[in-house]
Structure 1
């Protein structure tokens, strides 16, 4: 049985040590039909580093003897291109650069990264280029590239450049508020700009191919004047499934480990699927790392992990998403969190100086970071939506952190209140908890006191608790339920009751309508409940209903439909 490659991004190790590899090698042919200097964005933990490693193994002139072992049985092994094993590979990842110790330390760290990669290049190809050590006069990233250019040209060898996580350190600087340091590195005679200019100059000689990856287009646009050679392939429909798993690939993996069932694939679809990177792409793809996290536990224990969300994914996405949250666009964020989608122009390039000036840049950045995905084209725009439940949970966690900071929410108390709902069908303690929160919130400018804002708070509270599947705006035959709290597979033994919640908000000036709104809300709940019972197959005695009405800025009323 193939080992599950969770956390592994080294192609050679995967192929030589009997790990599962989902064949993406057909995309080598497709990439070769595009311009030779390529730029490609995908969200975090989507298989970029593994893909770069695969390209290295395929094109490396030193790996020819391993070709059959590495690529035998794969698409490209049966259909190799003329460029197979034709290049010296200069490969570098910009993850791990020190951005926390000031500009000079960062420059030293950047230079060290590049010079170390250059020395590895010499170690690997010394026999072909007749040089094995960087000269003492090579003291910077720029001069290291210039040196490699000269010796490779002298040896009449072509070089392919592979750059992984090109924007990692830049994103750290931006989220950390180090804008001046960023500007110093990118503009004028900045260190990073000089490095990329050296690569551009080398493409006029024997640096004949380049593939670089990252998570956002910010830095590439800031480099444009000195590095205007790359073709952005991010939105190409032919490359939509180059990274991630397709529906067919995911189902085949489950069958391989004998864990396939219709229920399992449907649950994985809710949590990990939903990414589309071109308005005209025909299918959605799964996040590969999220899938492997689930499959690893499922294959070993034949049960779901208690948390369907990998903490590594949660941490990575939360950190990089701070880039977008710097916009402080609460209106757009509220729309996304309450409606699950937003229409916008999809901006392909924006730099730091213009990034925060337009609303469409915010939504576009969320798309590149994997926090939104393309739902469908819409006139000359696109509709972007939250791709899956993992990402929705990350939104909830980030908003909860904001609430927690301002309101000092007692998480254990919240969990106890929701446990009462799950096990006893009693919402009383939760409503009291919510009343206190609304009362404290009323004097702060965190969120609009309206129906959307109230819904945003409630879905966040239930979402971060994590014991219910929180479904918003679920369509049924009678309309849309505001919130449906559905039993999770892994909490079935601990959950007796499921809930539908209807939310209403009245301004203080509308208080006289309270009874009218209450009666209408309870009537809606009754209709929704009948529809939900039919669609979800829930026993009537296990489905609870509650109407929550917020009046003005402090008063909360609750009525139950059963």
Structure 2
């Protein structure tokens, strides 16, 4: 009976009105909306990763500014707002304009303008997109007698997939710049402007011309405006966690820790509450299964392309990267490193801040992101035969979980012998990264180039009960790899870990591009 009374999780429901009227579970973010609506600025920009609740937030703003007081009954804003003025709202959703060319983009913008023009009309002289936007804002204000609210969701969506293309990016960027340009000229007619996105494109008019736009992406008062905090989860979702625990045959505490390891760990400023990925958490609770939901919804092609462009190795993603506050705000076209894009896209997050140096420490937020990212990068190291590769990795995990590294390496050797070798396999680093990806997919701690008093260990992996010290060679000898481990006493570096150390020497053949021989010593 208790399970039937639980509110449904709003999977894929991004309209505030539908969430409330459909009696879905809603995490109350209306206090933030009141704060923005009555803040010093009338122009706001918020950056958050995809599927982090931006669209629901924009829809909530729409209902609020449309004066739909009845939808906010029982929510925080009901006690804060006293006027509930109805404003004309122009709501644009740019998420519909992904993977498009110039003509398609202009057509989609035309359709969205037309929907509003059906209400407020369109002068014959307004032909271009920016003229139509300008006259639309002015007419809405004149006809209603109230200033206009403009909401633009995922303003950068048309540009993300072409950010690595020198030809297409300037073309589409010019279309979007013209579309947004009236926002400055129409300032007297505007009550509130709010834009969401992932990245910052400096040459768009909203950033180059609207110098009064308030970017609240890293402002502490708005740290939890999107996503679900641990406090919110425990307060509003305890019944759902109990049901999930029953499905998993675990205790509620074990289930909570599992959810934390899998979906928690985001911080968009420092200090910040722990924030869970809302898409993944809600899916897990609704489906009563812990899985990689955020990554399962699609890996952006732009991310993989930009990782290649900046020559970022898998082991370099996260791994205690550091950045200054200004780096997070770096214009996308002028990025000198992959760090801003990885952060804005949600693949790394803030883990610490040093007031003295003003440096933020960044790392991968949680296990879902680590495993999902490595799965996306795996094709680059297995020549795209990833279906069988994942199966092999699963079997390797089973072997290592039983303490049988010998069987795990034999499985990898058998698999590599069946696929054409990849490019760039003539250096040890390729195999080091392959091992890093595989061990990361196990969900175990793994690191490369680990410093010791006498040198660096190629790969270190730690399971629940064993620590593996692995030295790799290419075109040499596995015994030589083992000799190096012993000569430089690599295991001594990890004596305080409290775990037994297993030494592994592996040699890859320069001719076959496969494991030639290995030695395992306990």
TM-score (norm 1): 0.77
For residues 400-459 of structure 1, the C-alpha deviation after alignment (integer angstroms, 9 at most, x for no partner) is 021133788842661474265168654434313445788999984369625xx6553224
Structure-2 residue corresponding to 1:492: none
- Deviation of 1:211 after TM superposition, in Å, equals 0.6
Structure-1 residue corresponding to 2:284: 294
Once residues 548 and 420 of structure 1 are traced to their aligned partners in structure 2, the CA distance between those partners, rounded to angstroms, is: 18
Structure-2 residue corresponding to 1:180: 167
Is 1:16 paired with 2:21?
yes
**Alignment CA distance shift 1:22-1:412 (3 Å):** closer
Q: What is the aligned counterpart of 1:264 among 255, 262, 265?
A: 255
Is 1:456 paired with 2:425?
no
Is 1:370 paired with 2:346?
yes
Structure-1 residue corresponding to 2:78: 77
Once residues 57 and 74 of structure 1 are traced to their aligned partners in structure 2, the CA distance between those partners, rounded to angstroms, is: 13
Is 1:334 paired with 2:312?
no
Once residues 307 and 378 of structure 2 are traced to their aligned partners in structure 1, the CA distance between those partners, rounded to angstroms, is: 14
Is 1:91 paired with 2:72?
no
- Deviation of 1:483 after TM superposition, in Å, equals 1.9
Contact kept? 1:171, 1:323, Cα under 8 Å:
no
Contact kept? 1:38, 1:233, Cα under 8 Å:
yes
For residues 524-553 of structure 1, the C-alpha deviation after alignment (integer angstroms, 9 at most, x for no partner) is 699688548xxxxxxxxxxxx743223576
Once residues 278 and 364 of structure 2 are traced to their aligned partners in structure 1, the CA distance between those partners, rounded to angstroms, is: 17
Q: How does 1:458-477 map to 2 (within 5 A)?
A: 458-464=435-441, 468-472=442-446
Q: How does 1:84-483 map to 2 (within 5 A)?
A: 84-97=84-97, 99-100=99-100, 102-119=101-118, 122=119, 131=120, 133-155=121-143, 156-175=145-164, 177=165, 179-186=166-173, 190-203=174-187, 205-218=188-201, 224-257=207-240, 258-259=242-243, 261-278=252-269, 280-298=270-288, 304-305=289-290, 308-310=291-293, 313-322=295-304, 324-330=306-312, 333-336=314-317, 340-346=319-325, 347-355=327-335, 358-359=336-337, 362-378=338-354, 379-405=357-383, 410-411=388-389, 414-415=392-393, 417-418=395-396, 421=399, 426-435=404-413, 444-445=423-424, 449-450=428-429, 454-464=431-441, 468-472=442-446, 482-483=460-461
Helix, strand or coil at the partner of 1:344: strand
Structure 1 unmatched ranges of 5 or more: 123-130, 299-303, 487-497, 533-544
Once residues 524 and 396 of structure 1 are traced to their aligned partners in structure 2, the CA distance between those partners, rounded to angstroms, is: 30
Contact kept? 1:163, 1:213, Cα under 8 Å:
yes
**Alignment CA distance shift 1:85-1:485 (3 Å):** farther
- Deviation of 1:198 after TM superposition, in Å, equals 1.2
Once residues 255 and 264 of structure 1 are traced to their aligned partners in structure 2, the CA distance between those partners, rounded to angstroms, is: 11
Structure-1 residue corresponding to 2:513: none
Once residues 221 and 98 of structure 2 are traced to their aligned partners in structure 1, the CA distance between those partners, rounded to angstroms, is: 36
Helix, strand or coil at the partner of 2:151: strand
**Alignment CA distance shift 1:236-1:221 (3 Å):** farther
Corresponding pairs, count: 490
Once residues 103 and 25 of structure 2 are traced to their aligned partners in structure 1, the CA distance between those partners, rounded to angstroms, is: 43
Name the one with the larger helix percent.
Answer: 1
Q: How does 1:467-546 map to 2 (within 5 A)?
A: 468-472=442-446, 482-485=460-463, 500-505=467-472, 512=480, 514-515=482-483, 517-518=485-486, 531=499, 546=502
Contact kept? 2:479, 2:519, Cα under 8 Å:
no
Once residues 424 and 44 of structure 1 are traced to their aligned partners in structure 2, the CA distance between those partners, rounded to angstroms, is: 38
Structure 2 unmatched ranges of 5 or more: 246-251, 511-515
Structure-1 residue corresponding to 2:249: none
Helix, strand or coil at the partner of 1:387: coil
